[in-house]
Amino acid sequence: MTVEIREIPLVGPESGPYGITAGPDGALWLTLAQAGGIARLSPDGAVRTYPLEPAGGRPLIITTGADGALWFTRSGDDRIGRITVDGEQRTIALPAGTGPCGIAAGPDGALWYAGMNSDTIGRVETDGTHSAFPLPVTGGFPSMITAGADRALWFTLNQANAIGRIDLDGRVTLYPLPTVNAGPVGITLGDDGAIWFVEIAAGQLGRIDPDGEIVEFPLPDRSARPHAIVADPDGGAWFTEWGANRIGHLDPNCRIEGYALPTPDAEPHGITRTSTGIWAALEIGAIA
């Protein structure tokens, strides 16, 4: 497979691009964690940034909701943000100390988020109605979340060393990881119907099937600190290697390759896919 990487400058490196997603308008949308804003890269290459309203929210993860707007977590002020493709914003306040991180659109049309500081998984309807479900752990640090193929949401528990599943009624099942202190973070639904995730502390990828069976795949560089992951439409997955300045790929035969970014210390974080390729948010203020 031939892989070509190019970097597109977006904003200053002090802005801290973190999460990235494909929007319903054909643009790429990113969170600017350090600057406190949202950026939009249109198909023609035009960049527009939107400061958070109110300011200071430290946005992390962004996704498209069932209402055609972009929804994102504001980890700095315990809110969920919403921005339309025209730039109009509103927020939904969460309980103090929630610390929302990952967010995903659920099969019920609601947005589901991981409360990393509160040991909760929360649910927000597009009209602003909010509910939260406590997890059976203390200090588990739920981080990222994704919709599964089974009408449930799957999430990583970074400090509890487990993958969790929550159904639409709030029932939770936890699956401990085979590797101790693996530190799971990014998670995604694979095109094979299984859930794929990364273990940032162990330098591994993981796969869990709907029955809870887990298989781990050690990276060639165990210090690469994999962070975010997205399914490959041809099978396998693409992921960011935050600690090694690479984009990684696991093919359908479970072979793993890493592709170095042109700029040193670019710090790749979020990753998404579109019809034009795989896109990653780089801390240096660019995407690749």
Contact 255, 264 (CB under 8 A): no
- Print pLDDT tens along the chain (288 aa): 677 888 888 887 788 999 999 999 999 999 999 999 999 999 988 999 999 999 989 999 999 999 999 999 999 999 999 999 999 999 999 999 999 999 999 999 999 999 999 999 999 999 999 999 999 999 999 999 999 999 999 999 999 999 999 999 999 999 999 999 999 999 999 998 999 999 999 999 999 999 999 999 999 999 999 999 999 988 899 999 999 999 999 999 999 999 999 999 999 999 999 988 899 999 876 676
Residue for token digits 């273990």?
199
The DSSP output letter for 57 is: -
Q: Is the peptide bond before 54 cis (omega within 30 degrees of 0)?
A: yes
Residue 235: CB partners within 8 Å, gap ≥ 6? 191, 192, 251, 252
105 closest CA partner among 82, 89, 85: 82
> 62-72 as b/e, with b when 16 or more CB fall inside 10 Å?
bbbbebebbbb
Q: Which domains does the chain have, with CATH numbers?
A: 8-287 (2.130.10.10)
Half-sphere exposure of 28 (CA within 13 A, CB side): 29
Task: Please tell me the predicted confidence (pLDDT) of residue 1.
Answer: 65
- Spatial separation of the C-alpha atoms in residues 135 and 41, rounded to whole Å: 37
Q: How far is CA 126 from CA 45, 64, 79, 151, 218, in A?
A: 30, 11, 14, 18, 39
Point out the residues that are catalytic: 269
Contact 226, 202 (CB under 8 A): no
Contact 21, 27 (CB under 8 A): no
Task: Please tell me the predicted confidence (pLDDT) of residue 35.
Answer: 93
Task: Please tell me the predicted confidence (pLDDT) of residue 107.
Answer: 97
Contact 263, 249 (CB under 8 A): no
- Spatial separation of the C-alpha atoms in residues 124 and 80, rounded to whole Å: 8
